[in-house]
Every structure is written in C-alpha cells, then in structure tokens.
Amino acid sequence: MRKLLLNSTAIATVAALTASVAVADISISASTEFKYKTRSSLVSSTDTTTTATDSEIVFKFSNKTDSGLTVGYVAELTAGGTGTDGTFDESSFSIAGGFGKVVLGENDGVGDNFGISAVDLIAEENLDKVASARISTNADIVQGDGDNTKISYFMPAMGGLTAGISSYEAGQAAGDTTTIGAAYAMDIGGNSVTVGGASTSTPVANAKNTESNNIGLKVVSGNLKMTVSRATYEAVDEDRDANGFAASYTLANGVTVGAYMVNSKDGLDAGEKYEASGVEAQYTIATGLTAVVSVGNYDYVVGTNADTDMSSVSDNGTSTSLTIKASF
C-alpha cells in the first residue's frame, strides 16, 4: 500500500511538472546575412572590397501565471557583425500585466522602441564613417549605455500613445544613464502616421553632461513609406545636429526601391559637416530569402579649427553592396 502511494505521488508530481511545462510558450528564430561591399574614396586606405556575415539566433520563453501576469525571457546569440562570435549580446526577462511591462537585464534602452531614425526604413544603407572623425552619420538617438544591465518600464498603451523609461546604474563608475521615449500612432485619411521621440542623459562629473535627443515622423500610405528625423548630441567638445529623410515604394513585381539622405554638422567644430545619400532595391527571392543591392555616396568636410575629434583631411566616396538575407 505504501509503495502504491509513493508511485501515485510520483505520477502526480510528473503530471504537474508536465502541465507547467506545457503552459510555457517557447520559440526560436534566426536571421543571417552575407554582404559583399566595395568602397572607393579620396583616401586610398579606405578603398577596400570586403565580405562579411552577421547572424543572430533569438530564444524566447513566456509563461502566464495564475494571477494573470505574463513572464518572458529573451536571449540573443550572435555571430559575425560587431559582436563576439558565440556570445549572448542581449539577455533579459520581462513581467507584463495591466500595469504595463517591466524589462530587467541586458538590453537596449527604450530609445530604440520610440525614437524614429529616417534611415531605419532602409534595409542596407551605406553610411560610411570617416576615420578619426566624431560626427553623426545618422539622425538617430545615441545611447551610451548599450546593452548594459538596466531596468525599463513601458506604460500600457493609451489609444495610440505608448511611452517608456529605462535606467542604467553604473555603480561607483561614471556612466549612469536615463532614457525616456514616447510615440503616438494615428490614422489620417486612411494613412498610418506615427510620431516618436526619445531623449537620453548621462551625467559627467565636473564636465558637460552627455545628452542625445531624437524626434521623427513615419507615414505609410499604401505601398509608399516615408520617414523624416532630427537628432542632437551634446558632450564634451561635441554639439552635433543631424537631419535625415528616407522613402521606399513597393512595386507591383514585389521589388521595393528606397532612397535616403542624411546631413549633420558639429557647432563646436566650425565648418565640419557630413552628408550622405543613397538608393537601394530589395527583392524577395523566396519566403525568408531576400537580396538587397545598395549604392551610397558620402561627403565629409573638415572644420576650419584644428581639433582632435576631426579627421585631418576632407573625404568623399561611394560604396556599393550586395546583401543576401535569410530568416528562419
């Protein structure tokens, strides 16, 4: 009788564990891309032909508690790109309910959720950087806290309004960063219109604080999409502002063509400026498989005052790339 009771208890325990696992929702997705790129400019050292890959595997877990809370966990494994192969560049868990959503762990600040950068509309923009020049090449928010461990809060949506705040605490080291953002989506005459913006601030002891701001507008009208954005960045010896515009249109044959323009300058480096423009064509070869051809031009002008954060020479050039993307 005792043996039977123990066996019954074991079966009940296994059944309970199985039931709890069955409630959990698990998903795995992946994306990878291969890029062939050539660059030609006035500076011969940057005239190169390169090949590169950038891949990511995303693991997502979610579970619903008896009290109605949704608990989730996300981990992103990277290879290629700017990260270290075989490492998790982001790992965080979230708790969501009627109060909104709290995200804890290694993740981007809320600026990525609400700020609108014009060239985000473009699949593979060629915004080439100029060696040693610290000037904005995109009209986007600059988040100095990266994927550092932080806490983020997203308020419940109120109609078309969404907003959030994130905080990174650096401990005794400098670098505490607070980011806020908001977006409002609406329908105007059958067109989808979204206004979004974000602001981030990092106090610096006995010096100018590091601050970045972004505001943008996105309009979707049938097959036509347009974005415009403005961004500023202030820090020690930095007072930059940048503007961007992009548009894309999906043709009847499924090809999406896009174009973009970006210009920026630094108010503390008189005369220094950066301009870039480009076009691209995207074609879906098959479900989950896309090819993108992109051509971009840039023009960098050195400021009139000698400064260590400027390039020593002006430069302009052209980049052409072919990117093959696959998603799973």
pLDDT single digits (tens) 254-288: 999 999 999 999 988 888 999 999 999 999 999 99
pLDDT at 39: 93
Among the listed residues 227, 229, 224, the one whose alpha carbon sits nearest the alpha carbon of residue 190: 224
Q: Are 53 and 76 in contact (CB under 8 A)?
A: no
Burial zone of 254 (CB within 10 Å; 0-12 exposed, 13-18 middle, 19+ buried): exposed
For residue 119, which phi and psi values (nearest 5 degrees)? Answer: -80, 0
98: helix, coil or strand? coil
List the chain domain ranges.
27-327
Q: If one looks up domain 27-327 in CATH, what number appears?
A: 2.40.160.10
Note the pLDDT of residue 1.
Answer: 42
- The pLDDT of residue 38: 95
Residue spans of the chain under pLDDT 70: 1-23, 81-86, 172, 306
What pLDDT score does 22 carry?
44
> Do the beta carbons of residue 174 and residue 148 sit within 8 Å?
no
Distance CA 242, CA 209 (A): 19
- Tell which phi-psi region holds residue 280, choosing left (phi > 0), alpha (psi between -120 and 50) or beta: beta
- The alpha carbon torsion through 308, 131, 124, 262 (nearest 10 deg) reads 40
pLDDT at 89: 81
In single-letter form, the type of residue at position 107 comes to N
Nearest to 261 by CA among 282, 247, 240, 281: 247
Closest CA to 91 of 127, 65, 60: 60
- Residue-level pLDDT at 305: 77
Distances (CA, A) of 212 to 60, 70, 144, 149: 31, 33, 9, 20
Q: Could you give the angle at the alpha carbon of 196 between the alpha carbons of 174 and 164, nearest 5°?
A: 50
* Predicted pLDDT of residue 84: 61
Q: What is the Cα 294 distance to its own chain's centre?
A: 20
Question: How far apart, in whole angstroms, are the C-alpha atoms of residue 238 and residue 6?
Answer: 71
Entry pTM: 0.83
